[in-house]
Amino acid sequence: MRTTNLFSLTTLGICCTIFTTSAWSVNNFLMTGPKAYLTYSTSVAVGAQNGIEECKFQFAWERWNCPESALQLSTHNRLRSATRETSFVHAVSSAGVMHTLTRNCSMGDFDNCGCDDSRNGRVGGRGWVWGGCSDNVEFGERISKLFVDALETGHDARALMNLHNNEAGRLAVKATMKRTCKCHGVSGSCSIQTCWLQLAEFREIGNYLKIKHDQAQKLEMDKRRMRAGNSADNRGAIAETFTSVATTELIFLEDSPDYCIKNVSLGIQGTEGRECLQSGKNLSQWEKRSCKRLCTECGLKVEEKRIEIVSNCNCRFHWCCTVKCEQCKQVVTKHCCAKREKTPSPNNTRRKNRPSKR
């Protein structure tokens, strides 16, 4: 039996949710945000963390699985990649910050912000009028832009790409909003409805952006322009290229590297050792094909492992205020990608069997 302090657990959980995993966006966003907006720093941190978690969820069973090395957003310190995957990282992190700020605003967490009632009382359509508490996306968009876009101080193609994808992420939050209505009328006749706009769950925004990732457009640009874009003429030429793509679409400049193979210089871990799914309840077709995608198609074999997992079970709350749990053991089967055993070629075999010359 083990005793755990309930209050300590709760506090630790909150801290870990916000500050573990990565410091890529949390620290950078809070440092670049205007000092006058420090009151929003907790929401920015939570939103950035939500973006991280959603990225990891959306790519959990892909060769590129949103590793820590991909989560450095700024182009300021070093030359960043400009791949399709980078476009998603920027979009989902920007969307996460805007989504959290907007929701917290509507919940009354900020003194200077509340519901968007600017359209209340107006006729919205046949049989319904605007009313209620619409989520204030204009506020969320404005504050998140101050934090997230402040990371980009350059004027080259990569910086403009990042700013474009940041904006696409914010537009995704708006595009997925839902109209919610309440009926009014005698005896529930619903002769007229009052409606307001609500944020979608962040998972829905993540799904929306994953589709945008799959449909992302590559901009063909001169490589010299990509690296040196600070002259006035060059900035104008680059900006003109970007205007050819709708702001709702994700864009990238470079083809993705081979994520099957480990590449330390690029921060790619490869798929060796990655877990994949072969069986289980309610698996999607994409998940069921994960072993083929991660292992077989990368030249690796699927290896079955039996692992003993120890977890808390039969937990009981004791007044006041502790939780006592038993330790339960369970053996589970997991599948991982492993190197194939090298078989010697016929030529090597003949050389090995040939008597050595003296």
The pLDDT tens digits for 322-342 are 888 999 998 988 999 999 887
Does residue 53 lie within any of the structural domains?
yes
Do 137 and 33 lie in one domain? The reply is yes
| Whether residue 315 sits in one domain with residue 216 | no
Q: What is the DSSP string of 258-320?
A: -TTS-BGGGTB--STT-EE-SS-TT--HHHHTHHHHHTGGGT-EEEEEEEEEEEEEEEEEETT
Same domain, 166 and 262: yes
155 with 285, same domain: the answer is: no
CA distances (Å), origin 43, targets 50, 103, 172, 201, 254: 10, 9, 19, 16, 33
- Residue 258 maps to a domain: yes
- Quick check: is 281 in a domain? yes
166 and 236 housed in the same domain: yes
Is there a domain that residue 297 lies in? Answer: yes
How does pLDDT run across 302-311, given as a tens digit for each residue? Answer: 999 888 889 9
347 belongs to a structural domain:
no
Of 270, 295, 326, the residue at which a domain comes to its end is 270
Kindly report the backbone phi and psi dihedral angles of residue 135, in degrees, each rounded to the nearest multiple of 5, phi listed first.
-65, 135
Q: What is the DSSP letter of 208?
A: H
Residue 98 inside a domain? The answer is: yes
Q: Are residues 107 and 170 in the same domain?
A: yes
Residue 23 within a domain: yes
In a shared domain, residues 217 and 294: no
61 C-beta neighbours (distance < 10 Å), count = 21
Give, as one character, the DSSP assignment of residue 3.
Answer: E
- Looking at 270, 303, 325, the residue that finishes a domain is 270
Distances (CA, A) of 9 to 1, 4, 165: 17, 7, 38
Identify whether residues 137 and 244 lie together within a single domain.
yes
Do 212 and 336 reside in the same domain of the chain?
no
The average pLDDT across 54-63 equals: 95
Residues 139 and 43: their CA atoms lie apart, in Å, by 13
Q: What is the pLDDT confidence band of residue 77, given thresholds at 50, 70 and 90? A: very low
pLDDT for res 226 = 53
The H-or-E segment that residue 183 falls in is strand 178-184
| Rg of the chain over all Cα atoms, to the nearest angstrom | 26
The pLDDT value given to residue 321: 76
Tell which wins on pLDDT, 2 or 47.
Answer: 47
Q: Residue 25: enclosing H or E segment and its boundaries?
A: helix 24-32
User: Are 248 and 326 found together in one domain?
Assistant: no
Confidence of residue 41 (pLDDT cuts 50, 70, 90): confident
Of 77-81, 150-154, 218-222, 303-307, the range with the highest mean pLDDT is 303-307
**Pick from 249, 270, 291: which residue ends a domain?**
270
Q: Is 66 helix (H, G, I), strand (E, B) or coil?
A: coil
Is the domain of 207 the same as that of 235? yes
In a domain, 353, yes or no: no
Return the minimum-mean-pLDDT range out of 116-120, 225-229, 245-249, 291-295. 225-229
Residue 277 near residue 62 (C-beta atoms within 8 A): no
Start-to-end CA span in the chain (Å): 71
DSSP single-letter state for residue 116: B
Instruction: Please give the Cα distance from 4 to 203 (Å, whole number).
Output: 32
Contact indicator for 351, 325 with CB cutoff of 8 Å: no
The model's confidence at residue 14, banded by pLDDT at 50, 70 and 90, is very low
Which are the contacts of 130, defined by CB distance < 8 A and separation ≥ 6?
A: 119, 120, 121, 122, 123, 124, 194, 195, 196
Report percent pLDDT > 70 for the chain. 77
Report pLDDT for 11: 29
Alpha-helix runs per DSSP H in 107-246: 137-148, 157-175, 202-214, 223-227, 232-242
pTM over 0.85: no
> What CATH number is attached to the domain comprising 311?
3.30.2460.20
Supply the range of the domain harboring residue 52: 18-117+133-176+202-270
Give yes or no: residues 138 and 243 share one domain.
yes
Q: State the total domains in the chain.
A: 2
Alpha carbon distance 52, 43 (integer Å):
14
pLDDT for residue 67: 86
